[in-house]
Chains A and B, each alone.
Chain A
Amino acid sequence: MDAWAGASIVGIGELKPERRTEGVTTLEILARVSRLAALDAGVEPGEIDGLLVGPQVGETPQHVPATVAEYLGLKPTMANVVDLGGASGPGMIWRAAAAIASGMCETVLCVLGNHRNPEAPRSPNRNPIREFDVPFGASGANISYALLMQAHMASYGSTAEDFALIAAAERANAQRNPNAIFYGKPASVADILASPMVASPLHLLEIVMPVAGGEAVIVRSAKGAGKGRNKPVRLLGAGEKVTHRAVSQAPSLTSGPLKPSMERAFAQAGLAARDMSLLSLYDCYTIMVATTIEDAGLAPPGEFGAFLRDAGLGPDGQYPLNTHGGQLGFGQPDLAGGMTHVVEAVRQLRADAAGRQIRNATTALVTGNGATMSEAVALVLGAEA
């Protein structure tokens, strides 16, 4: 038996992203997407005995698992919040498998979602970023990632065009996903470079579009997984690392905690990045994909651009990258955005990715990233042989 006792993903649910959801609550969204995942898995609600949820800022500040469990009519024997920003989704998957392997539960619902109502409350935060970054004019993630991108360009001579290739490739992949927010709206490298500068060197189209949405995944014990209607997708390896929160405290601006996370996941799986059928890489900004490609060892430091030009990033290419369009093409439903990379990997490994299926997809690398290249989770997923 492996470390995860054969725990597998048996069901997925996804909502079509929306720009506005007036009057809708997070709980409604979580309920709808959980139902889809249970239907997909062929799991009855009463069989779900584990629940992992994300933070719900502004709606339910505390007691989130109990609030969600009550709403869904669940009485789990394992319930928790996973609070790793964009790495929360992938972080739920190994935690679910670990809870199953330890015997605490059999069937875990991992669910993230968000509404998107017009009023954006100003932050009540009282933490080091609020005290030491915000007063100088640095609020929000755009500036932090711009600082990472500028450092990469200064260290290695990478160009604006290198980064734009990522956004263009993911937009191209989104043209095969009717649910993507940018379906029917391709963007060329020239379009991306012509989009407004938000925080130099970061252009608007190198930044995810915020949307409402939800993603749910059901992880089940080896025993239960065999009973479902889908081909189970196995967790083969996982790695996690958290190094800092504020960009000023980052140990490096050009390499992140995904590097050791991926190394651990690959070592556990006995596989390497080049073996992967799909690269399902967290992509809040183009710079995040660039650094992940280099941290995965797919390109030497500073040379992600050359890798991208040769790789073939579509479903038929040598290194299919974010075939759902990535969050850059699909939209970012807040914390659920990180889970879109898990859901797409499961689709590909079940051969369910109609219109964008990778031929003979057997393994996928999924990465999650939170805060400013601070919170990292890497998963290696495999199709059942």
Chain B
Amino acid sequence: MTDLSGLRTPGPTIIALTEPFWKGGEEGHLMIQRCRSCGRVVFYPRAICPHCWSEDLAWEQASGRGRLKSFSEVHKPGHPGWLPVTPYVVGLVELEEGPTMLSHVLAAGRPPKVGDTLVMEPTDIGGRILPAFRLE
């Protein structure tokens, strides 16, 4: 597997509200918010539920599994820090719980295809452990 740990890429701009997501990712847990008022799941983390505007959001651990909704093999990255590992794959992961997140799809023996099942894989990208995904 390609080593991404030495990349000089921009890391997340973490704030107090989003810290549980990133900290969970480091520990191998994909953390998402659920609204205790309307019961719906929220990603990315927010101050209020975008469905019902309740402030009563609680963190919970997601399964870490999802379906690849779309992907791109990136040859010309938008940030030069990614140049050493081109081409690499980013994808839209529809989490089992419902919301979609964008993530890095780790290189595997074969190219991904839309509909593939993905599993969260904590990965050192540029010296930070981030919730990337691998093909199941």
Contacts and interface: CB of A to CB of B under 8 A. Distances in A.
Interface of A: 126, 128, 130-140, 142-143, 146-148, 150-151, 154, 196-202, 246-249, 253
Main secondary structure of the interface of A (DSSP, over half): helix
B12 A131 contact: yes
Contact of A147 (B14, B71, B101): B71
Interface stretch (B29-37, B55-63, B74-82): B74-82
B92 A140 contact: no
Contact of A137 (B18, B43, B104, B113): B104
Contacts of A198: 75-76
Contacts of B91: 147
Contact of A199 (B11, B75, B79): B75
B18 A136 contact: no
B102 A247 contact: yes
Interface of B: 9-15, 18, 43-44, 69-79, 82, 87-88, 90-92, 100-104, 113-115, 125-126, 128, 130, 132
A199 B72 contact: yes
Contacts of B10: 130, 134-135, 139
A135 B130 contact: yes
12 contacts: A132-B12, A134-B79, A147-B92, A154-B70, A196-B76, A198-B76, A199-B74, A202-B72, A247-B92, A248-B43, A248-B44, A248-B101
A143 B72 contact: yes
A200 B87 CA distance: 10
B9 A249 contact: no
Given A136-B125, A139-B77, A143-B72, A154 B115 contact: yes
A143 B90 contact: yes
Nearest to A202: B72
Contacts of B15: 131
A248 B15 CA distance: 20
A129 B106 CA distance: 20
B125 A200 contact: no
A143 B75 CA distance: 10
Nearest to B76: A198
